[in-house]
Amino acid sequence: MKSGFGFADYLLYLDRKALGAVEAKAEGSLAGVEAQSAKYAAGLPDNLPAHHRPLPFLFESNGSVTYFTNGLDPLPRSRQVFGFPRPETLAERIGRPAQLRARLKQLPLLDETGLWTVQARAIANLEESFADANPRALLQMATGSGKTFTAVNVCYRLLKFGEAKRILFLVDRGNLGKQAEDEFADFTPPDDPRKFPTLYTLQRLKTNSINPAAKVVITTIQRLYSMLKGETEFDAGNEEGSSFDSAKPLKGKPPDVAYNAGIPPEFFDFVVVDECHRSIYELWSQVVLYFDSFLVGLTATPAGKTIGFFNQNLVMQYGHDEAVADGVNVDLDVYRIRTKITENGSTIVAEPTGVYVDKRNKLTRGQRLERLNEDLTYTANELDRDVVSESQIRTVVREFRDKVLPEAFPDCTEAPKTLIFAKDDSHADDIVRMVRLEFAESANTTRPTPARSTASPPPSSRSCSNTSPRAAPTSTPSPRWPDASPASNANSLRRS
């Protein structure tokens, strides 16, 4: 370097022109090293060709931890990255008139057409966080207030006005991925009559291959981890249950993540994580933090650890009470139905004479008898995911029919419309069958489809609402009813 500017450990060249420098240290702290590498940016000798002066891309690394500073940002500051960007990434950045963080400061005013007030407020707050270059942001919005619809609006604006390269939309199970895909597919922006997929390539991953043209990629974190490991195949059955909700998503230690040249850390500019209030910040954090991207979390019920993971940057806080006051949600009374099995699990004893159980394939629903060679003990968390107890489902349904309904709706002559939350699709099918048996119903019990937000809040009501179908078990948090009339009951068998 020039006299007085020290000696750089490495200069980064692209097409025989310098564009960055690396300060390499032995294992240990990198405190104070950023100031040292910053000297190299201005100290490049005049006789060396460069893409830009001062050198824009600076790195500090000890082999285990790497920090990166983009000197072209409006307010350059270092951030930890998983690894060095690919040369073509730096070439693309050096050729842009404005970097991503500069473009985020220039987003146009939001057109609030078709948005609820809470959704518009959430978008505005999130974009303000982007403009301040906050790497992580959390939106807490009550169930029913349109978190996914809000996220779709944000993604559209980031792609059109922020010129984002690519956005990852992470979900915790397959059916939520389909729901998000439907939300994107049905979205018409306020400034263009065309649907979102006509404007930008949308891909929900069904194989371990990303379309290079895709602007929004929807997948489960389970499949993403498989892809980062370099696996070409992935069993879709592993996306059936929630891994965010599981204490041991891979039945082992937290997943280790290694660099994948096919999906480098800079592959996505933004990562949106749906239902992020679970173990994203524990078991799965290595997968999420692999990417050098802005991280946006969506949740209705954030825990303290979740808020901490998002650097306490809670840009939107819209709880149930506020949603009730706004007429977005209705108030509720809570009835808790407990059974011994749902509280403590149970054991199926393998009798000496032989005990046979039905073994079910979750995807095909095919069943075959299998003899137990030893006792099968299962926990409450495994119930309805790994083990199905029809008697437990029947007990809960009967209690709801014989005790809850008469007390909650004494004037109703038949069961009012009821939404039942299940643990997964297989569990929902079991509930449909049991409700039909116990209520002597036929087609009046059905499965809803995923919902999307409408331009105005749904009506708030608590009535018999005897519009058919009257019961609709679902494994999605925000399902769409086969008809538009309001529901009177929402039951959860996910933790009952």
Write out pLDDT tens, residues 255-298. Answer: 789 999 999 999 999 999 997 655 566 678 889 999 999 999 99
Locate tokens 């999130």: which residue? Answer: 126
**Two tokens at 416?**
């009012």
* DSSP bridge partners of 490: 419
**Mean of all residue pLDDT scores within the chain:** 84
**Percent over 90 (pLDDT), the chain:** 48
Q: Residue type at 425?
A: D
Q: Which has the minimum average pLDDT: 70-79, 223-232, 419-428, 484-493?
A: 484-493
pLDDT at 211 over 90: yes
Q: Residue type at 164?
A: A
Whole-angstrom distance, CA of residue 286 vs CA of residue 433: 40
Q: Residue type at 68?
A: F
Q: pLDDT value at position 485?
A: 56
Write out pLDDT tens, residues 403-439. Answer: 988 988 888 878 788 888 887 777 888 888 888 898 8
Question: Domain segments of the chain: what residues?
Answer: 10-94, 100-325, 340-492
SS (H, E, C) the chain: CCCCCCCCCEEEEECCEEEEEEEECCCCCCCCHHHHHHHHHHCCCCCCCECCCCCCEEEEECCCCEEEEECCCCCCCCEEECCCCCHHHHHHHHCCCCCHHHHHHHCCCCCCCCCCHHHHHHHHHHHHHHHCCCCEEEEEECCCCCHHHHHHHHHHHHHHCCCCCCEEEEECCHHHHHHHHHHHHCCCCCCCCCCHHHHCCEEECCCCCCCCCCCEEEEEHHHHHHHHCCCCCCCHHHHCCCCCCCCCCCCCCCCCCCCCCCCCCCCCCEEEECCCCCHHHCCCHHHHCCCCCEEEEEECCCCHHHHHHCCCCEEEEECHHHHHHCCCCCCCCCCCCCCHHHHHCEEECCCCCCCEEEEECCCCCCEEEEECCCCEEECHHHECCCECCHHHHHHHHHHHHHHHHHHHCCCCCCCCCEEEECCCHHHHHHHHHHHHHHCCCCCCECCCEECCCCCCCCCCCCCCCCCCCCEEEECCCCEECCCCCCCCEEEECCCC
**Percent over 70 (pLDDT), the chain:** 83
State the CATH class of domain 100-325: alpha beta
pLDDT at 38 over 90: no
Whole-angstrom distance, CA of residue 298 vs CA of residue 302: 9
Task: Indicate the pLDDT class of residue 480, thresholds 50, 70 and 90.
Answer: very low
State the average pLDDT over residues 202-223: 96
Of 41 and 462, the one with more pLDDT = 41
pLDDT at 237 over 70: yes
Contact 165, 294 (CB under 8 A): no
Give how far Cα 297 sits from Cα of 124, 135, 213, 290, 307, Å. 15, 11, 25, 16, 10
pLDDT at 248 over 50: no
Task: Indicate the pLDDT class of residue 454, thresholds 50, 70 and 90.
Answer: very low
Task: Indicate the pLDDT class of residue 456, thresholds 50, 70 and 90.
Answer: very low
Beta-strand relationship, 346-348 and 471-474: unpaired
pLDDT at 147 over 70: yes
